Structure 1
Amino acid sequence: MKQFLRSGVVAATLAVAGVSGAGVALAETMNVTIVAGHPPVFRWVKHASQTFIPAVNKALEGSGTTIEWSEQYGGSLAKVGEELEAVEEGLAEIGLVSSLFDPAKLAPQNVTYFTPFVVSDSTLVSEWMDKLQSSNADMKAAWEANGLEYLGGAIGIDDYLLMTNFPVKSIADLEGRKIGAPGPAVNWLKGTGAVGVSGNLTTYYNEIKTGVYDGVIVFASAALPGKLHEVAPYITKVGFGAQYAGGFAANKDWFDGLDPAVQQALRDAAEADRIAYHADLDASVSKFLEIMTSQGATVTEVDEGFRAQWAAGMDNVAKVWAEKLDDAGVNGSAVLKDYMDTMRAAGAQPVRNWDQE
C-alpha cells in the first residue's frame, strides 16, 4: 500500500513587519480523488456528487480543512471492477467499490448474490450489510487485506428482474437461451436450462441488440436509464431479491493519516448518502416500471409457485460458495449464517433457507 496524503497547506507566511503568526490556525486544502467505474447516469454514482461530497464539505465548514474534489466516473480512471485497485494503489483516495465485480478480493461481501429469493427490500439489505461490514470479522478483514477502509454508504440494489427479447411464461422457456447476469448472479440460472453469461450494465444494451444475449438479469432502477426495455421488452418480475453491490471505501493508509474530524465527516457522509440514495431508489422503482410499460415493455409478475420452483431447482450455490471460502481460510459458512440470521431477524421470509440445508 502507498502512503500518499496529498494535502496542500494554504496559509503560509504570516510574519510580516513584526506581525507574528503565533496562534493563527493553518488552513488546509486536501486534494481528493473519488472514483467509480459506472457513469453518473446510475443513481449510486449520481449521489456521490449530489449527497456524499456536499455532506463532507458541509461537515468540514469552519474546521479549517477544505477538500478539492476530483470526480472520476464512468471509466475515466477505473473501469467497473477496477475501483478497488485504483484506491488500493493510490490512484484515488476514495472509491465506490463494486464488491460485486471483485468476487475474489471481496468474497464475503458477495454473500447476498449467492442467496437469492431472501428479501426484496433494498433499504433493509443495505442497512444491515453496512452494519455487517464492521460486526462480521471476515467482512471487515476482506477490506483491510486490500488496503481499504470501509466508510459505509451501501449500494443496495432493488429487486432483480429478468428482461428478455422473448416472452417467459414458464421456466422451460429459458431452455438454451443466453442470459447475461452480473458476477455471481450467473448462478441463479443453474437448473433453468438457460446459459448464464457474466456481464455488467455498461455493455448489456449492445450485447442484447447484437444477439450476444437473449436477455439479462437486471434491476428496474438501472434498466430504464440503460434503455434495456428497447432491446429486451419482456420484463418478468421473478423476485430474485434485493442485493448489496458495494459501498464507499478509502485507501487505508491515507484514511489513517487523517484528522479524526475528517474521518468522521467521511463516515457520516457515507451514511447520509445511503439514506438519500435509498429514498430516491424506493421512489423510482415503480415509476420506472410504469415508464418502460408506457414505452412498449410488457411487465409480468410470476406467482409463488413459479418462484418456489425456480429456487428449488437451483443447486445450493450458497453452501458451495461458503464451503469454498472455508477451504480457503475464510469462514464462509459463518458469513452465510450471519447474513441469513440477520435478515430473518429483520423480518425477511426467504423462499429457501440456504444456510439450513
Structure 2
Amino acid sequence: MRKPLQHIWALPVLAAGLAVPATAPAQSIDVTLVNGHPSIFLWVKHLTETFIPAVNTALEGTDYAINWSEAYGGSLAAVGGELEAVEVGLAEVAAIPTVFMPTQLPLQNVSYNTPFGPSDPRLVMESVAMLHDTVPGVEESWHEYDAEYLGGGFALDNYVLMTNFPVTSIEDLEGRRIAAPGPAVNWLEGTGAVGVSGNLTTYYNDIQTGVFDGVIVFPTAAAPARLHEVAPYVTITDFGAQYAGTLVANRTWFADQPEAVQNALRDAAAAYTEAYLVEQTDRVAAAMATIASDDDHLHVLAPEERTRWASALPDIAGVWAENANGMGLPGSEVLTAYIDALKAAGADLGRDWSQR
C-alpha cells in the first residue's frame, strides 16, 4: 500500500537536516609571537616555517584556532627585551635569547660559562633540556618572570673568531677590541684583547666603522649577516656550540588556555627544535664556505693553542656557579650535572670546568 503523501514529502527534509549538521566555528585565540632578531636568522625563520604551522596542525579538528601576530626584528621588543614583553603581557609567546640575559636567567647560560665545550649543537640542546627536566629550580627559574617553559629551543653552532686582522695565537689579540654576545665576553679574559658586549644586529656596522676589530660569532649567522665583508679572517677556535634560547609563554595566560592549546604549544616547541637542528646541520658547511672562501683567510687553532687559551681563562664557571648559588639558584648542581652529561657523551672538552 502506498505511503501517505505527507510522509513522502517529510523524508527529504529530514535527510537534508541530517546531512548538513550545524557546526560551531572554532574559538579564535589571539597570540603575539616575539623575537628581537630579524627573520634572516634560523631561529626566527623556523618560528614562521615550523612552530606556527605545527600549532595550527595540532589544533585542527578541535574547538580552537590561533590568530597569530608575528613581531620580529625589534618591531615589538629589541634583542634581549623579549622576556619583559612576555612578562608584562605584550606577547603571549616568545623565542627568548637567554644568552642576552645572564643576570635574569643565569642557569640557562651554563654553556656560555663553560667555553671550549662540544661543537655539536644537538648535544648541547639535549644536555640543557635534561637540566630543565632533572634539576629542581631550573625550569622554575622562569616563573619569576611569569614565563612558562615550553621546552626545546635553539643552540648555536660552534663559535669562531672573525677579525679584520689574522690570528694564529693568543698573542695576536693583544689590545684588539673584540665583540661577543653577553657572557661570551668572558672568553677573552687573559688574552690581552678588550672584550665588548654586542649582538648580531650591530656587528657589521661596528666593525666597518672601526668600533670593533672582530667578533666571536657562529657561522650560520655570520654568513647571512655578511660579516666576512668586514672581518675576512676566520679562526676556528672550537669555542663550542652554545645553548642560546628557548620558547616560552606568558605563564598566567598559558594557565588559562584549554589543554588542547597547551599541548599544541609544547608539541610545536619540540617540532621547532628538531627542524631547526636539522637545517642548522645542513647550513654549517655552506656558511663556512661563504665566510672563509680561501685558505689565506682561514686558520684552525692548533689543539695545544686551544688548550692554552682555555687554561689561561680565570675560573669562569666557578664564579658563575657561586653567583647563582648566592641568588638561591642551584648553580653548582647545574654546573656538575651539565659537565657530567657532556663527559658521558664523550664530548671533546678543552677544559673540565667542574674541576676547581
Structures share a fold, TM > 0.5? yes
Deviation at 1:348, TM superposition (A): 1.4
Deviation at 1:134, TM superposition (A): 3.0
**What amino acid does structure 1 have at the position aligned with 2:228?**
H
- Secondary structure, in 3 states, of the residue corresponding to 1:154? strand
Partner of 2:217: 218
TM-superposition CA deviations, 1:181-233 (whole Å, max 9, x none): 00000000011000000000000001101111000000000001111000000
**CA RMSD for the aligned pairs?**
1.6
Partner of 2:59: 60
Alpha carbons of 1:328 and 1:224: their partners in 2 closer, same or farther (altered >3 Å)? same
TM-superposition CA deviations, 1:234-253 (whole Å, max 9, x none): 00000000000111100001
Deviation at 1:24, TM superposition (A): 6.0
For residues 202 and 133 of structure 2, the distance between their equivalents in structure 1, rounded to whole angstroms, comes to: 33
Instruction: Decide which structure has the larger Cα Rg and report it.
Output: 2
Partner of 2:323: 324
Partner of 1:333: 332
Residue 306, structure 1, aligned to residue 330, structure 2: no
Deviation at 1:342, TM superposition (A): 1.6
For residues 43 and 225 of structure 2, the distance between their equivalents in structure 1, rounded to whole angstroms, comes to: 14
Partner of 1:253: 252
Deviation at 1:142, TM superposition (A): 1.2
Partner of 1:136: 135
For residues 76 and 296 of structure 1, the distance between their equivalents in structure 2, rounded to whole angstroms, comes to: 40
More moved, 102-111 vs 326-335: 326-335
Question: What TM-score comes out, normalization by structure 2 length?
Answer: 0.91
More moved, 152-161 vs 42-51: 152-161
Structure 1 gaps of 5+ residues are 1-21
For residues 291 and 203 of structure 1, the distance between their equivalents in structure 2, rounded to whole angstroms, comes to: 20
For residues 192 and 40 of structure 1, the distance between their equivalents in structure 2, rounded to whole angstroms, comes to: 34
Conserved in 2, the CA contact under 8 Å of 1:39 and 1:75? yes
Partner of 1:35: 34
Alpha carbons of 1:85 and 1:294: their partners in 2 closer, same or farther (altered >3 Å)? same
Residue 80, structure 1, aligned to residue 86, structure 2: no
More moved, 151-160 vs 215-224: 151-160
- Secondary structure, in 3 states, of the residue corresponding to 1:153? strand
For residues 63 and 325 of structure 2, the distance between their equivalents in structure 1, rounded to whole angstroms, comes to: 48
For residues 343 and 324 of structure 2, the distance between their equivalents in structure 1, rounded to whole angstroms, comes to: 23
Partner of 1:146: 145
- Percent of matched pairs sharing the same residue: 53
TM-superposition CA deviations, 1:66-114 (whole Å, max 9, x none): 1110000000000000000001110000001111111111111001000
For residues 265 and 304 of structure 2, the distance between their equivalents in structure 1, rounded to whole angstroms, comes to: 45
Partner of 2:271: 272
Conserved in 2, the CA contact under 8 Å of 1:113 and 1:243? yes
Conserved in 2, the CA contact under 8 Å of 1:229 and 1:297? no
For residues 349 and 110 of structure 2, the distance between their equivalents in structure 1, rounded to whole angstroms, comes to: 14
For residues 138 and 166 of structure 1, the distance between their equivalents in structure 2, rounded to whole angstroms, comes to: 44
For residues 138 and 62 of structure 2, the distance between their equivalents in structure 1, rounded to whole angstroms, comes to: 33
**What amino acid does structure 2 have at the position aligned with 1:161?**
V
For residues 22 and 247 of structure 2, the distance between their equivalents in structure 1, rounded to whole angstroms, comes to: 36
Taking the TM superposition and a 5 Å limit, the aligned residue runs for 1:1-357 are 27-294=26-293, 298-357=297-356
Conserved in 2, the CA contact under 8 Å of 1:188 and 1:314? yes
- Secondary structure, in 3 states, of the residue corresponding to 2:319? helix
TM-superposition CA deviations, 1:262-313 (whole Å, max 9, x none): 1111111110110000100011111111123338982211111110010010
Conserved in 2, the CA contact under 8 Å of 1:40 and 1:73? yes
For residues 22 and 127 of structure 2, the distance between their equivalents in structure 1, rounded to whole angstroms, comes to: 45
Q: For this pair of structures, how many residues does the alignment match? A: 336
Alpha carbons of 1:134 and 1:176: their partners in 2 closer, same or farther (altered >3 Å)? same
Conserved in 2, the CA contact under 8 Å of 1:321 and 1:332? yes
More moved, 342-351 vs 57-66: 342-351
More moved, 187-196 vs 149-158: 149-158
For residues 130 and 145 of structure 2, the distance between their equivalents in structure 1, rounded to whole angstroms, comes to: 19
Conserved in 2, the CA contact under 8 Å of 1:233 and 1:297? no
- Secondary structure, in 3 states, of the residue corresponding to 1:326? helix
For residues 297 and 70 of structure 1, the distance between their equivalents in structure 2, rounded to whole angstroms, comes to: 46
For residues 208 and 138 of structure 1, the distance between their equivalents in structure 2, rounded to whole angstroms, comes to: 40
Alpha carbons of 1:225 and 1:249: their partners in 2 closer, same or farther (altered >3 Å)? same
For residues 271 and 46 of structure 1, the distance between their equivalents in structure 2, rounded to whole angstroms, comes to: 15
**What amino acid does structure 2 have at the position aligned with 1:170?**
S
